[in-house]
Chain A
Amino acid sequence: MALYSDKVMDHFQNPRNVGKLDDASGIGEVGNAKCGDIMRMYIKVEDGIIVDCKFNTFGCGSAIATSSMATELIKGKPVEEALELSNKAVVEALDGLPAYKLHCSVLAEEAVKAAVKDYYDKNGIAYDPELFKNVENCEHCQE
């Protein structure tokens, strides 16, 4: 069996929404170059809806694929719904990931949350800090 599912390979080789947004409402960056993966997520919010979303990723095949899938899953969705995106949903949408690559999906979830948090912060929108307690807290980057 191949290392990655066809869907992972498709999203890795043809990533959706790759790039930057100059007029982003929120930008989230998670990960650590030392650990070998960094994701940067850009969201553009209009009337509470994520109308556009782009990403830049430094990392392995599954890091790129999970970033790509995460952007597809949140684009067009209300911000609150994006916040509910779980790493599990990203993994399922990609038809699975090898166990030792699951942290990439966690990173994708956290990148989305970090971008939303940035949007909230920039726009003075109140939120429950509990929602973001894990953001920028990639467990395997903790020394």
Chain B
Amino acid sequence: MFVYADNAATTCVSRAAVDAMLPYLLEDYGNPSSLYAFGQKAQEALQASRETVAKCINALPREIYFTSGGSEADNQAIVSAARAGARKGKKHLISTKFEHHAVLHTLSKLQKEGFEVTLLDVHEDGVVRLEDVEAAIRPDTCLVTIMFANNEIGTIQPIAEIGALCRERGIPFHTDAVQAAGHTPIDVEAMNIDMLSMSGHKFHAPKGVGVLYAKKNMPLVNIIEGGAQERGKRAGTENVAGIVALAAALKESCDHIEENTAKIIPMRDRLFAELSKIPHSKINGSLEHHVPGTVNMCFEGIEGESLLLLLDKEGICASSGSACTSGSLDPSHVLLSLGIPHEVAHGSLRLSIGEYNSMDQIDHIIEVVPKVVAYLRSISPVWDELEKGTREHLI
């Protein structure tokens, strides 16, 4: 059985998205900047997509900028706020320890330029506290950027509360909503969000297209210079077909949030319930504030990459925060930010499911994972020591 359980990495493109985009690849392939009617057809499709996306998050169409994806949107939002802040002598930014690298690396680049960055603790449950945000705010704070939902553990942050606080203090607030858009309701007005990033391929649009929402008074700095596309804020001929697909996919996802959540939650809960029976396992992150489909657990005494390779052999696609899968020497910064020790974080497993998964597939996962964990433990000297009592169990 093949089970795709890595929907937080990317998703399949929905039929609705494919149907919406195909005409703009095959027939109406004009350049939206062209004057003739053929080009204007593409321009109209862009405009309609902008309206659709705006409606999904309760924004205005002119507040929607199409980008190449979530990373570009994050870069542009943060750099824009930093430049605007610097002009007023404000060079302090607030974020969290477990942001996506698109945010963290942009912040460290700014730090090298002389900006100051405060990265907030996310506590053991993976949820930032409003009091911590409030305490970190300084007179020279020019941006608060806090992710809507974490990509590895799925915890949702108190976005509306943080938004209200920032609005009250007059500080721009950006949220990386890549893991939230299409999966949990977003209302930029009600939540006082000034800027927000989205990535199409996380909600059944193709890869390579994303959105930056920037409230109408937010001054944007170009990351990509060139033509006057996207109201002069993002150069380059628009990815018309991708944008049309993104709008169709986002609308479809937003229209079905309740229905999809109702389908996903029982599958997720079954995964948690069954996999928690594995001794010395641990669920990572609060289950109270959580996007529906993300399951992140640690299994002591094993390493994540070997776990993934053996799951792959059984047809299961998943991911891990082990060092070997991150391509660095340290395990996932997200898991470390929760205070999980290195040796436990190496044995992490992320399963991210969506509305395209079925309970049969969940059954396959819960049949396979305990066997694979038991096998890897049987050949692990770490597990051997844990069992003998010469090494202390950490979970």
User: Residues on A close to B: CB < 8 A?
Assistant: 9, 12-13, 15, 18-20, 29, 33-40, 56-61, 63-64, 100-101, 140
A57 to B306, CA, bound (A): 11
Question: Is B331 located at the chain interface by the 8 A CB criterion?
Answer: yes
A58 touches B322 (CB 8 A): no
- Interface size of B by Cβ–Cβ distance < 8 Å? 27
Question: Which of B23-31, B120-128, B236-244, B297-305 lies at the interface with chain A?
Answer: B297-305
Chain B residues whose C-beta falls within 8 Å of the C-beta of A37 in the assembled complex: 303
Chain B residues whose C-beta falls within 8 Å of the C-beta of A64 in the assembled complex: 306, 379
A57 touches B379 (CB 8 A): yes
A13 to B312, CA, bound (A): 11
Which residues 271-303 of B sit at the A interface, judged by CB distance below 8 A? 301-303
Across the A-B interface, give the 10 residue pairs with the lowest CB-CB distance, nearest first.
Answer: A60-B305, A60-B324, A33-B343, A40-B381, A58-B380, A58-B382, A36-B346, A56-B381, A34-B342, A36-B323
A60 to B391, CA, bound (A): 20
Chain B residues whose C-beta falls within 8 Å of the C-beta of A59 in the assembled complex: 303, 306, 324
Please encode chain B, from 324 to 353, with 1 for each CB lying within 8 Å of some chain A CB and 0 for all others.
110101010000000001110010000000
- B343, closest chain A residue (CB): A33
A38 touches B381 (CB 8 A): yes
Chain A residues whose C-beta falls within 8 Å of the C-beta of B331 in the assembled complex: 36
B329 touches A56 (CB 8 A): no
A39 touches B381 (CB 8 A): yes
A58 touches B327 (CB 8 A): no
- B310, closest chain A residue (CB): A13
B306 touches A61 (CB 8 A): yes
Question: Is B383 located at the chain interface by the 8 A CB criterion?
Answer: yes
Pick the residue among B309, B313, B322 that contacts A36 (CB under 8 A): B322
A18 to B384, CA, bound (A): 13
B327 touches A33 (CB 8 A): no
Chain A residues whose C-beta falls within 8 Å of the C-beta of B310 in the assembled complex: 13
Pick the residue among A19, A29, A60, A100 that contacts B303 (CB under 8 A): A60
B306 touches A60 (CB 8 A): yes
What would 14 more interface pairs be, CB under 8 Å, given A33-B342, A33-B343, A58-B380?
A: A12-B309, A18-B379, A33-B391, A34-B341, A34-B342, A36-B322, A36-B331, A38-B382, A57-B380, A57-B381, A58-B381, A59-B324, A60-B322, A61-B309
B303 touches A36 (CB 8 A): yes
Chain B residues whose C-beta falls within 8 Å of the C-beta of A63 in the assembled complex: 303, 306
Chain B residues whose C-beta falls within 8 Å of the C-beta of A15 in the assembled complex: 379
A18 to B287, CA, bound (A): 38
Chain B residues whose C-beta falls within 8 Å of the C-beta of A60 in the assembled complex: 303-306, 322, 324-325
Chain B residues whose C-beta falls within 8 Å of the C-beta of A18 in the assembled complex: 379
Chain B residues whose C-beta falls within 8 Å of the C-beta of A33 in the assembled complex: 342-343, 346, 382, 391
A100 touches B323 (CB 8 A): no
Pick the residue among B304, B313, B329 that contacts A35 (CB under 8 A): B329
- A101, closest chain B residue (CB): B324
